[in-house]
Amino acid sequence: MALRKLVPSYFTGAILGAIGYLAGNWYVAHFIGEGHDEAGPNFTEQGLMVGFALLLIGWLIGIGAFKYPITWLFGAKDPGHDEEMRLAGKGDGVIRYFRFTTDHKVVGIQYLVLTLIMLAFGGLGALLIRTELITPGAKAFPPSTYNTVVTMHGMLMILTTITFFIGPFGNFIVPIMIGARDMAFPRLNALSFALLVPAMAIFAFIPFLGMGNSNGTGGGVQTGWTVLGPITDQSGMGATALACAVILAGFSSILGAVNVITTIIAMRAPGMRWTRLPMTVWGIFGAALLAAIGTSSFAVDLLLILLDRLYNTSFFYAATGGNSVGAGGGNAWLSQNLFWFFGHPEVYLIVLPAFGIVLDILVVFSRKPLYGYKMAVLGILGVVVLSFLVWAHHEFTSGWAPELRFWYMATTEMISIPTGFVFLVAIGTIWRGRIWMTVPMLFALSFIWNFVIGGITGIYLSDVPADIQLHGGMFVTAHFHFTIVGGALMGFFAAVYFWFPKMTGRMMDEKLGWISFWLIQIGFNVAFLSMFIAGLQGMPRRVADYDPQFAGPNLVTSLFAYVLIAGVAIFFYNVIVSWVAGQKAEANPWHALSLEWQVPTPVPLENFEKIPVVTNGPYDYGDPAEEVAQGSAPAAAGGQVAG
Amino acid sequence: MSETPQRGSVWRATAIWAVCTVVGIVLLLVLGPQLAAWHVLPAVASDRAGDIDQVLFLFTLLSIPVFALVIVFAGYSAFTWGSRLRPNAHGRPMAVSSRFQPIWVIISIVLVIFLYVYGLAFLNNVNAAPKGDVLHVNVTGEQWLWDFSYPDSNNVGTSQLELVVNKPVEFSITSIDVQHSFWIPALGIKQDAVPGETTHISATPNTIGTFPIRCAELCGLYHAYMETVVHVVSQDDFNTWIQNQEPSAPVMTPAASSLTPIKVPDMAMISDSRRAAGV
């Protein structure tokens, strides 16, 4: 009987996916490649590509994603409420986490686990990179392996960071925060996660494709995560796997984003006006807008790259001889523009939810209303709009349209104004607060320190003359790690510590939290401040080897990167230990006011017995009549609910 | 109802901010000029590199009070009012001051406009065509080396770059395979080498010496080793040097070329030249 429950599940999906991949490979090799002498070497890659397509289809059949669309096509009745509840995993126990389950909380947990795994592998990449760079000389790996590790670290971390707010928290927390029973499109929601899994499976192929090849252009992927056209067209087979994985992850991201946007617009409880939305919801809303609009541009870029690589088109190749291939007539700048039109909004997509979450956490642990709600919302929306107008600042040195540089310099510097709003709100919120120094609060405060450094160094890079010197160097690497690690990742840690009790029913260990926080914050700051110096000295990015003059800062960076990684390892240990055997959490351990803390833990299926009517904002602290500090029952916590 | 009196005041925080700002600026003024000598900044060997140093200096000068403002006020709050124990009262709500927010917005707008106009002035230098007697150099990036040719001197082709001190140089840059980026930190110039396109950048070297050239765009396997040096020499030395160079074959046209085997640079040779150049 137990086995019966495993059909369909992710296990059957994995089996059919593997069969699909092998079948696709075999089909191309035996029915298309055979007997075509002019086929050339890229039939292996075409087989790979068809294999990936059948892997996806096999996976989706195996997990049962097609069941409802197909029965609907054949005129079956729409599923009733009971059937929907069964689909949401009612009474299924742990197995519901390994199935195509529509409950938004199950999807949220699935996302949390997957993004943590992705983060661990991305961190492993960082460890390898810093090990190679600890001293001059390419000693640890050959350059081809190093470049592949750099590419995989970059791309995997980007996929992780664009997912790790919208995925776990956008799914688990946001619907409860706005007083909804589920997402607007529960099945689409399950699908967006179900697409990320095969995307990651395909991504995992990269290191095994031609990595031994250290001749010619090298194995693996030699491109960096920016996948500029010509170098990606030329790179080894890994680039095909990378493109397929990222296109698929992009679909997942767009579907997730559309769902989040619709949910926030359409599913708010009565009385949950736009002016009563917690900042977390605003941040995730802004990020979802960016994901829905920007991601497709990257998918187009990768699709054109795949065509160039497999089917002899020439979008990005000018026929210049040398190692270039293809018919010519293409243009490398096209790829750069398609990429950065996604690539720049994408970094704000990563950090906007962190803005919202950090502001919410500052409010809860300062026991004070948010200082300047409208200003914070305006800050987030201002960043959303401006972020689509700045992409060519990545091309100041590319030679493309130098006459437009003044314009992109203006928009880029302008974006510091709405960002500044968020800092004003943050400081105004904690000023004279009753500050409770918990682990999430520590991470939220460290966000302020780190992100202001990331922001200020960003202004250096927005200035064309300074950028001409600093572009493509370690200064840029240090800058964006300050925004993405120091900003977004710290926000993610804060969010995990903050919502862990609601999501898992257990508290995370506080002592381990403090230790890991200080290791992370000190390790990160010393490592990357030191990297700024390497950048100012003139060290280029993404090099396997470097001149001895950069040895000092690189040694410091590597040693403190180990400290940072040790801190993150303790965080992972804390997550696992606390999830298994942590102290049981009450429904509202932080005595917060927003809706998600007013429902019981574990959150029941459909969240609310009765849809709440919201009569006040999430930040109404400071009214003595609502003083709840004496550990009263959460229901009486004077939260956002009334009636 | 009763508000327990709280320690701390806005004036104390402001005083700490002022002290931090002054200390920061003094440190910048004292240490700033030493940075090149300590190799924290590259050597300044052209007008363009001088511009960049000025920009970096001004940006750092303005960043100090801004950084200190955010950090001091946030840190002051955390240290003054923070507690490991759960507080048993709420903080007093703070009215959103009708004066303070506009002041913040206006100051940030003024700062941005100032930085922008300042940047524009230097951008003008970057865009300006070099004047007077200009040395033209064609630069071609290929995996994984730089080729140079001198169109003013019978297209002399060489793998070594020599420039004349105090004579403006204009580089015309292209690539025959993938994107590279031509970077001479000491001259303060960087320009991508794009296959099928020609890009330009100019500078006037003003110091005799030998400086590194690097590739700043990941261009495949041996990207890290795609570096060489530039010699900035006097006009006489340059004339002697260029006369001893062979005129190169005509520049390869796209149609004439076909797939050529990939050149894998001799790694031992690269590290030797790196050591010899003392970079």
The predicted-structure confidence for A306-330, as pLDDT tens digits, reads as follows: 988 888 788 888 766 655 555 677 8
Q: B91 lies in a domain? A: no
Q: What is the pLDDT of residues B4-36, one digit of tens each?
A: 446 678 899 999 999 999 999 999 999 988 888
pLDDT of amino acid A323: 54
- List alpha helices for A164-219, DSSP H: 168-177, 186-203
Binary contact (A547, B279; C-beta < 8 A): yes
B187 and B227 inside one domain: yes
The predicted model gives A590-595 an average pLDDT of 90
Cα–Cα distance, A7 to A57 (Å, whole number): 17
Residue A394 in domain: yes
Q: Is residue B92 part of a domain?
A: no
* Lowest-confidence segment of A74-88, B129-143, B157-171 by average pLDDT: A74-88
Q: Which domain holds residue A161?
A: 107-603
- Nearest Cα of chain A lies from the Cα of B9 at a distance, in angstroms, of 9
Distance from C-alpha of A366 to C-alpha of A213, rounded to nearest angstrom: 56
Size of interface A-B (CB pairs under 8 A): 334
Q: Which residues on B lie below 8 Å from A431 (Cβ)? A: 73, 77, 94
Q: Which residue in A596, A575, A578, A576 sits closest to A587, CA to CA?
A: A596
Pairing type for strands B161-164 and B228-233 reads parallel
Taking the CA atoms of chain B, what radius of gyration do you get in angstroms? 27
Same-domain status, B145 and B108: no
**Is residue A99 in some structural domain?**
no
CB neighbour list of residue A638: distance below 8 Å, 6 or more residues apart:
A593, A620, A626, A628
- Looking at beta carbons, which residues of chain A come within 8 Å of B123? 405-406, 409, 464-465
Helix extents (H) in A538-585 = 551-581
Distance CA B266, CA B258 (A): 23
Give the amino acid at A26: W
Q: Is residue A357 very low, low, confident or very high in pLDDT (cuts 50, 70, 90)?
A: very high
| Whether B239 contacts B167, CB under 8 Å | no
A637: pLDDT strictly greater than 50: no
pLDDT reading at A635 higher than 50? no
Nearest CB to A319: which of B73, B83, B254? B254
Q: What is the pLDDT of residue A621?
A: 82
* Cβ contact B277:B231 at 8 Å: no
Q: What is the 3 state secondary structure string of chain B?
A: CCCCCCCCCHHHHHHHHHHHHHHHHHHHHHHHHHCCCCCCCCCCCEHHHHHHHHHHHHHHHHHHHHHHHHHHHHHHHHHHHEECCCCCCCCCCCCCCCCHHHHHHHHHHHHHHHHHHHHHHHHHHHHCCCCCCCEEEEEEEECCEEEEEEHHHCCEEECCEEEECCCCEEEEEEECCCCEEEEEHHHCEEEEECECCCEEEEECECCCEEEEEEECCCCCCCHHHCCEEEEEECHHHHHHHHHCCCECCCCCCHHHCCCCCCCCCCHHHHHHHHHHHCC
Do residue A437 and residue B84 have CB atoms under 8 angstroms apart?
yes
Beta carbons within 10 angstroms of residue A457's beta carbon: 22
Q: Are residues B120 and B172 in the same domain?
A: no
**To probe the interface with A, which of B122, B213, B223 has the most A CB atoms within 10 Å?**
B223
Q: Is residue B256 part of a domain?
A: no
ipTM of the complex: 0.90
B139 pLDDT band, cuts 50/70/90, is very high
To the nearest whole Å, the CA of A7 is away from the closest chain B CA by: 46
For residues B140 and B273, state if they share a domain.
Answer: yes
User: Contacts of residue A452 in chain B, CB cutoff 8 Å?
Assistant: 66-67, 70-71
Q: How far apart are CA A63 and CA A15, in angstroms?
A: 10
Confidence of residue A233 (pLDDT cuts 50, 70, 90): confident
Reduce the DSSP state of residue A319 to 3 states and report it. coil
pLDDT tens digits, one per residue of B33-78: 888 888 888 889 999 999 999 999 999 999 999 999 999 999 999 9
Q: How many domains does chain A have?
A: 1
Residue B89 lies in a domain: no
pLDDT recorded at residue A33: 67
Q: Are B88 and A319 within 8 A, CB to CB?
A: no
Compare CB distances from B196 to A318, A413, A463 and report the shortest one's residue: A318
Task: Tell me how far CA of residue A466 lies from CA of A482, A634, B35, B51, in angstroms.
Answer: 19, 54, 16, 9
**Statement to judge: residues B212 and B153 lie in one domain:** yes
Q: What are phi and psi of A431, to 5 degrees?
A: -60, 125
Residue B46 and residue B162 in one domain? no
Q: What domain range includes position B228?
A: 135-251+263-277
Looking at the structure, tell me whether residues B152 and B271 fall in a common domain: yes
Cβ of A398 within 8 Å of Cβ of B1? The answer is no
Cβ neighbors of A287 (< 8 A, separation 6 or more) are: A165, A166, A257, A348, A349, A350, A352, A353
What does pLDDT average to over chain B? 84
Mean pLDDT across the stretch B78-96? 81
- Out of B39, B91, B222, the one facing A622 most closely (by C-beta) is B91
Min Cα–Cα distance to chain A from B236, Å: 30
Q: How far apart are CA A346 and CA A475, in angstroms?
A: 20
Q: Please state, in angstroms and rounded to a whole number, the distance separating the CA atoms of residues A302 and A240.
A: 9
If one counts the domains in chain B, the total is: 2
The answer to whether the CB atoms of B104 and A420 lie below 8 A apart is yes
Q: What is the CATH number of the domain that holds B176?
A: 2.60.40.420
State the residue for tokens 């992409």. A391
- Interhelix angle A551-581/A104-132, nearest 10 degrees: 150
Q: For residue B263, what pLDDT is reported?
A: 40
What is the rounded average pLDDT of the residues A85-103?
A: 86
Query: Quick one: tokens of B50?
Result: 């001088």
Question: φ and ψ at B219, to 5 degrees?
Answer: -125, 25
Indicate the residue type of A419: T
Closest CA to B221 of B160, B178, B272: B178
Residue at A153 is within a domain: yes
Looking at CA atoms only, how far is residue A224 from chain B in angstroms?
Answer: 7
pLDDT of residue B209: 94
B residues 212..271 contacting A (CB < 8 A): 212, 214-225, 227, 252, 254-260, 262, 264
Residue A625 lies in a domain: no
Task: State whether B71 and B140 are in the same domain.
Answer: no
Please tell me the predicted confidence (pLDDT) of residue A35: 56
Min Cα distance A60 → chain B (Å) is 36
pLDDT digit string, tens, across residues A137-156: 888 888 888 999 999 999 99
Q: What is the mean pLDDT of chain A?
A: 89
Do B174 and B111 fall into the same domain?
Answer: no
* Cβ pair B244, B220 in contact under 8 A: no
How far is Cα A579 from Cα A504, in angstroms, rounded to an integer? 7
Q: How far apart are CA A634 and CA A585, in angstroms?
A: 12
Per cent of chain B over pLDDT 70 is 85
Residue B93 lies inside a defined structural domain of this protein: no
Interface contact flag, B225 A629, Cβ < 8 Å: no
- Whether B123 has its CB under 8 Å from any CB of chain A: the answer is yes
Q: Is a pLDDT exceeding 50 seen at residue B159?
A: yes
Residues of chain A neighbouring B181 (CB-CB closer than 8 A): 397, 471-472
Residues B118 and B183 in one domain: no
Tokens of A545: 């080897």
Residues B153 and B173 occupy one common structural domain: yes
A325 burial (CB, 10 Å; 0-12 / 13-18 / 19+) is middle
**Domain membership flag for residue B152:** yes
pLDDT surpasses 80 at B90: no
B40, closest residue in chain A (CA to CA): A537
- Note whether residue A119 is domain-resident: yes
Give the whole-angstrom CA distance, residue A543 versus residue A132: 10
Residue of B nearest to A375 (CA): B101
pLDDT of residue A69: 86
Percentage of chain A lying above the pLDDT 70 cut: 92
For residue B67, is it within any domain? yes
Residue type, A171: N
A36: in domain: no
Q: How many CB atoms lie within 10 A of CB A568?
A: 23
Report helix angle B100-127 to A405-414, nearest 10.
160
* Residue B52 covered by a domain: yes
Residue A54 lies in a domain: no
d(CA B212, CA B206): 16
Residue A548 included in any domain: yes
Give the pLDDT band of residue B3 (cuts 50, 70, 90): very low
- Would the pLDDT of A230 be above 80? yes
- DSSP-based helix, strand, coil % in chain A, nearest 5: 70, 0, 30
Tokens of B101: 């927010």
The yes-or-no verdict on residue A37 having pLDDT over 50 is no
